[in-house]
Chains A and B, each alone.
Chain A
Amino acid sequence: MKVGVFKFSSCDGCQLAFFELEEELLRLSEKVQIQYFLEASSKNTWDYFDLAFVEGSISTPEEEERIKKIRESSRFLVAIGACAVSGGIQSARNFEDFSEIYFSVYSGRYEVNPLSKPLSDFVKVDLEIRGCPINKEALREVLIALLQGKSPQLPSYPVCLECKRKGNPCVVVAKGLICLGPITVAGCGALCPTFERGCYGCYGPVEKPNLQALLEGYSRLRVSQDLIKELLRISFNGYNKSIREWL
Chain B
Amino acid sequence: MAMKVQIEALTRVEGGGSLEVFLRDGKPESLRLSIYEPPRFIEGILKGKPYQVIPDITARICGICPVAYQMSGVQAIEDAFCVKIPEDIEEIRRLMYFGEWVQSHALHVFFLHLPDFFNVPSIIELSKIDKGLVLAGMEIKRAGSFIIQALGGRTSHPVSVVPGGFNALPESLSELKETLEKALEKALWTVEKLKALNFPDFELKEVLFVSLIEEDYPILKGDIYLEGVRVSPKEFKSFFVEFEVPYSTAKHAMTKYGRVYLVGPIARFNNAFEKLSPLAMETAQKLSLEPMVKNPHKGILVRIVEIVHALERSIRIVKDYKKPQRGKVEVVPRSSTGYGVSEAPRGILWHSYSFDSEGRILSANIVPPTSQNQRAIELSLWELIKDKENIKEDWLRDHAEPVIRSFDPCISCATHFLKVSLKDAKKFNLA
User: Which chain A positions have C-beta within 8 A of B211?
Assistant: none
Cα–Cα, bound, A41→B114 (Å) = 12
The answer, yes or no, to whether B374 is at the interface (CB within 8 Å) is no
Q: Does B412 contact A (CB under 8 A)?
A: yes
Whether the Cβ atoms of B111 and A19 lie closer than 8 Å is: yes
* Min CB gap B169→A, angstroms: 9
Which listed residue, B44, B112, B123, B153, touches A93 by the CB 8 Å rule? B44
A104 touches B122 (CB 8 A): no
A38 to B405, CA, bound (A): 13
Segment of B72-80, B134-142, B177-185, B383-391 engaged in the interface with chain A: B134-142
Question: How many residues on chain A are close to B (CB under 8 Å)?
Answer: 60
Task: Determine the distance from Cα of A188 to Cα of B127 in the docked complex, in whole angstroms.
Answer: 31
Q: Which A40-74 residues have C-beta < 8 A from chain B?
A: 40-44, 59-60, 63
A42 B121 Cβ-Cβ under 8 A: yes
Chain B positions within 8 Å of A197 at CB level: 159, 162, 167-168
Report Cα–Cα, A42/B120, bound state, in Å.
8
- CB of B401 within 8 A of chain A? yes
A81 to chain B: closest CB distance in Å? 9
Number of interface residues of B (CB under 8 A): 66
> How many whole Å from B372's CB to the nearest CB in chain A?
17
CB within 8 Å for A107 and B244 given contacts A93-B41, A135-B154, A195-B159: yes
Distance in angstroms between the alpha carbons of A44 and B107 in the assembled complex: 20
Identify whether the interface residues of B are mostly helix, strand, loop, or mixed.
loop
Q: When each residue 159-171 of chain B gets 1 if its CB lies under 8 Å from chain A and 0 otherwise, what string results?
A: 1101000011000
* Dominant secondary structure at the A interface: loop
Of A13, A59, A105, the contact of B157 (CB 8 Å cutoff): A13
Q: Given B13, B43, B57, B121, which contacts A39 in the complex, CB threshold below 8 Å?
A: B13
Q: A13 and B60 in contact (CB under 8 A), knowing A42-B115, A196-B167? A: yes
Per-residue A-contact encoding for B40-54, CB less than 8 Å = 1, 0 else? 111111010100010
Within 8 A of A (CB), among B33-92: 37-45, 47, 49, 53, 56-57, 60-64, 66
**Chain A interface residues (CB < 8 Å from chain B):** 7-16, 19-20, 22-23, 25-26, 29, 34, 38-44, 59-60, 63, 88-90, 92-93, 96, 100-102, 104-107, 109-110, 112, 116, 132-133, 135, 188, 191-192, 194-197, 200, 202, 230, 234, 236
